[in-house]
Amino acid sequence: MDLTIALEKLDELQKKMYAYGAANSALYLDSVTVAPKDTSEGRGVAMGILAGEEHKLFASPETGELLDCLESNRDKLDARQARQTELLRRSYTQLSRIPADEYMEYAMLTNEASDVWHRAKEQNDFELFRPVLEKLVAFNRKFAGYYDSTKAPYDALLNEYERGMTMEKLDAFFAALREKIVPVIRAVGEKPQIDDGFLHKHYPVEIQRKFSDYLMEVMGLDRAHCGIGETEHPFTLNFNSQDVRITTHYVEDSLAESMYSVVHEGGHALYERGVDPQNDYTVLAGGVSMGIHESQSRFYENLIGRSRPFVHAIFPRIRAFFPEQLKDVDAEMFYRAVNKAQPSLIRTEADELTYSLHIMVRYEIEKQLIGGTLAVGDIPAEWNRLYKEYLGIDVPDDKRGCLQDSHWSGGSFGYFPSYALGSAYGAQMLRNMEKDVDVWGSVGKGDLSPVTAWLREKVHQYGSLLEPAQIVENACGVFDPTVYTDYLTEKYSELYGL
């Protein structure tokens, strides 16, 4: 094949893949935001067929020939074309090992599972979810072998979310967190607790919606290119760098819940919006890994959003939205309230200090599930045991226990560690950013643009052009979790007077 033709075909293939991805994303976005409750069946059929067609297109012998041709002309490719070829080869090798019928069956299973999980959680009935979760675990154990049969199954899945990540690295990372963070949590527990009662007054949803608009404005999210929707479990979805959607969940008696969802998802959205548009409609579009993505979302949510300078800067506006609810509150009280630390049941509502321990529970369970040493039926008991061991709390029911997160129903095993890793990456990015930029001078004036500009240069612009490890090296230097644990120790020692 002539190289000019091969490059045209490369372009055409990636655009078609983009189209399938966009169609699937649109159906997904609809299903979890505005679609009526009992409509998943027909959507499942459509999504199954789309997944099957995409698989046929991508796993075809023609794609193999195209990649062979591009690889034999490697020295004539530019950096983008070379990286596209590399990433496509990686997926091709993996995907072509998954039989088309299994791939389609799995796509339909995850659609069904999402529905079953919703009902099981609503009815607090793990047994309802168990059969479908067993199938998901079995599929993932099998897929792990297709991805990389030389690795332990869970390592193969981890590698899908964060290339190069292994149980060995994560065991060491979590051990370091446990050693440094657990004593701080214990010490905080012995101090008088911060009063956050005013965050739980009545905050009408229609005003919270306007408040979300304001937060997106502060973050510099251009509303002509970034929409906001409402869902049960907030997430961000990118069609391309010019069309990104965030979602939030409003709770009338909890102001911080949606507020920090918007800032978190806004962080994901800024990453996607910052990717060089040259990468659109190719496999280089979009954030490179879940760990890097979470480093951005959690950066805005916690390192910036829960910082004293940021809270003090925006507090006058917050009070203008909710004058009655916050009439006896000042900026410092608000800052302390949104940083209240207390072991709790729900991961998404956890504070910055205890958050990583929620991740550790899920990591331990996934490791055993995929490793084959824990049966699905034993998840609730193991979950409750680990919450007691790490966080010192009793789990009253599965609804607030092992049924709380959607990840497993979507077939995501190996995703959770990204949240903790991302937090640790973020702390290192902040320390490096402080050397280049007057971070707190700007944030204290409510101006996040120098922060976003720094992240855009070091992280966002690349999309998937670089490996996650290269991004970490660019923005963090040598990965060192003690930067994160030191940050948490200092922040909470000051807050609680330890």
Interface characters, 417-456, with Zn ion (x: CB under 5 A) = ----------------------------------------
Contact with Zn ion (CB under 5 A) among 297, 325, 412, 423: 297
Name the catalytic one among 54, 257, 265, 294.
Answer: 265
Segment lying near Zn ion (by CB under 5 A), choices 139-147, 181-189, 296-304, 402-410: 296-304
| Count of residues that bind Zn ion according to CB under 5 A | 1
Segment lying near Zn ion (by CB under 5 A), choices 252-260, 293-301, 337-345, 390-398: 293-301
Task: For the CB of residue 235, give the shortest distance to Zn ion in the complex, in Å.
Answer: 7
| Residue 153: partners with Cβ closer than 8 Å, 6 or more residues away | 140, 141, 144, 145, 370, 371, 372
What is the DSSP code string of 94-157?
HHTTS-HHHHHHHHHHHHHHHHHHHHHHHTT-HHHHHHHHHHHHHHHHHHHHHH-TTS-HHHHH
Task: For the CB of residue 477, give the shortest distance to Zn ion in the complex, in Å.
Answer: 24
At 456, list the tokens: 């855009």
CA 433 to chain centre: 22
By C-alpha distance, which of 22, 88, 24, 102 is closest to 60? 88
Segment lying near Zn ion (by CB under 5 A), choices 171-179, 210-218, 292-300, 440-448: 292-300
* Annotation marks residue 324 as catalytic: no
CA quadruple 231, 33, 279, 7: dihedral positive or negative? positive
Q: State which residue, 114 or 297, has the beta carbon closest to Zn ion.
A: 297
Q: State which residue, 272 or 280, has the beta carbon closest to Zn ion.
A: 272
Task: For the CB of residue 264, give the shortest distance to Zn ion in the complex, in Å.
Answer: 6
Interface characters, 248-287, with Zn ion (x: CB under 5 A) = ----------------------------------------
Q: State which residue, 140 or 261, has the beta carbon closest to Zn ion.
A: 261
Task: For the CB of residue 389, give the shortest distance to Zn ion in the complex, in Å.
Answer: 26
| Residue 303: partners with Cβ closer than 8 Å, 6 or more residues away | 426, 427, 430, 487
At 224, list the tokens: 């002509």
The identity of residue 43, as a single letter, is R
In the sheet that holds 226-230, the strands lie side by side as 226-230, 243-248, 236-240
Task: For the CB of residue 294, give the shortest distance to Zn ion in the complex, in Å.
Answer: 5
Q: At what angle do helices 290-298 and 255-274 cross, to 10 degrees?
A: 130
What residues line the site for Zn ion (CB under 5 A)?
Answer: 297
What positions carry a catalytic annotation? 265
